[in-house]
Amino acid sequence: MKIKQKKWTTEEIKEEAKKYSSRTEFSIKNNAAYHAAIRRKIIDDVCSHMKPKYRGWTIEKIKAEAKKYDYKNDFRKYSTKAFYAAERRGIINEICSDMKFKNRKWTDNDIKEEAKKYKSRGEFYILSSSAYSLACDRGILNEVCSHMKKGRTRWTIEKVKKEARKYDSRYEFAKLNWGAYQWAIKRKMLDEICSHMKRKHKWTDENLKKEAKKYKTKKEFREKSNTAYCLIKRKNLFDEMCAHLKKNV
């Protein structure tokens, strides 16, 4: 049984946008309205009250960032800032024209089963962006997320620091507690709060080669060591270092 998608009017989009202080928050908490605004080319108008964030993405920088990815969903998942900068500039289709598409066809029931794996919308969004986006587009996000925790934690600096101490890396922190992670970013306190976490690995070409040898497929390499994977692509060493990798299954 198909669920009727909500048709957003311009006024409804404007009212919805007023609830949020940033475009990132708007896109996460009401992706359907956010994309309706983009399609109608009113995103700048309805977000005019928001604080500008993440400036500096030129078209050249966005193109360079997009070249790291084979799939559009991976571009969105691992480089969210560049992805949405491309959307805002209206060049997302051009930027992603050479990217491949994952073959999986999500049914509404598939999306419901996928959503059951996660405890919060933030976790769902980070770990399964394709299913999350389709749920938004089909107007079933509220239904498939009905089992998730409701209500927002009122984060304080003490609570966020205590939460952050549970994690060894920023990626793990973001993955397992998106709300606290975003709270730290908005207040420009992420470096302070994450100071105990592991430092970024200094990748030499030799270390990159050793890292690539640990994996059997491109998908496994990208998911388990995304930084090394992207760095190899950026250095144009993929054919040399990853020739042994099998195609994604």
Looking at the domain assignment, is residue 135 inside a domain?
yes
User: In this structure, are 184 and 227 located in the same domain?
Assistant: no
Q: Give the DSSP letter of residue 246.
A: B
Residue 196 in 3-state DSSP? coil
Query: Is 248 inside any structural domain?
Result: no
Beta bridge partners of 246: 217
Alpha carbon of residue 29 to chain centroid: 13
Predicted confidence at residue 150, as pLDDT, reads 62
Q: Do 118 and 184 sit in the same domain of this protein? A: no
Name the residue with tokens 């306190």. 189
pLDDT of residue 160: 92
Nearest 5°: CA angle at 38, between 19 and 62?
110
Alpha carbon distance 225, 200 (integer Å) = 12
Task: Quick: pLDDT tens for 173-205.
Answer: 876 777 888 888 888 888 889 888 765 556 788
Q: Verify that 75 and 16 share a domain, yes or no.
A: yes
CA distance 181 to 196: 15
pLDDT given at position 112: 92
112 and 170 together in one domain: no
pLDDT of residue 57: 81
Q: Confirm whether 199 is domain-assigned.
A: no
Structure confidence at residue 104 (pLDDT): 63
Q: pLDDT tens string for the chain (249 positions)? A: 444 557 889 999 999 999 988 777 787 778 788 888 887 888 888 988 886 554 578 888 888 888 888 777 778 767 777 887 787 777 887 888 777 655 567 889 989 998 888 877 777 776 677 787 788 878 888 899 888 866 567 889 999 998 888 877 777 787 677 788 888 888 888 888 988 876 555 678 888 888 899 888 887 887 777 778 877 877 778 888 888 887 654
In a domain, 18, yes or no: yes
> Bridge-partner residues for 100, per DSSP?
71
Amino acid 13: pLDDT: 93
- How many whole angstroms separate alpha carbon 222 and alpha carbon 146? 31
CA angle in degrees (0–180, nearest 5) for 174-65-164: 15
CA distance 128 to 156: 28
3-state SS, one letter per residue, for 219-236: HHHHHHCHHHHHHHHHCC
168 and 229 both lie in a single domain: no
Query: pTM for the full model?
Result: 0.32
Same domain, 129 and 71: no
Residues 61 and 89 in one domain: yes
- In sequence order, the 6+-apart residues with CB closer than 8 A to the CB of 229 are 221, 222
Residue 218 one-letter amino acid: K
140 located within any domain: yes
Q: In this structure, is the dihedral angle defined by the CA atoms of residues 140, 141, 145 and 151, taken in order, positive or negative? A: negative
Same domain, yes or no: 90 and 167: no
Rounded to an integer, what distance in angstroms lies between the CA atom of residue 197 and that of residue 201?
12
What do you get for the CA distance between the two ends of the chain, in Å? 31
Question: Is 189 in the same domain as 214?
Answer: no
**Three state DSSP letters for 31-92:** HHHHHHHHHCCCHHHHCCCCCCCCCCCCHHHHHHHHCCCCEHHHHHHHCHHHHHHHHHHCCH
Q: Residues 189, 209: one domain?
A: no
Tokens of 53: 């964030």
How many independent structural domains does the chain possess?
Answer: 4
- Based on the fold, state whether residues 54 and 89 are members of the same structural domain: yes
Are residues 84 and 14 both part of a single domain?
A: yes
Domain presence at residue 30? yes
* Residue at 246 is within a domain: no
Containing structural domain, residue 236: 205-241
Residue 71 β-bridge partners = 100
- Asked whether 99 and 65 are in contact (CB, 8 A), the reply is no
Tens-digit pLDDT profile for residues 42-81: 888 898 888 655 457 888 888 888 888 877 777 876 777 7
Q: Is 217 domain-assigned?
A: yes
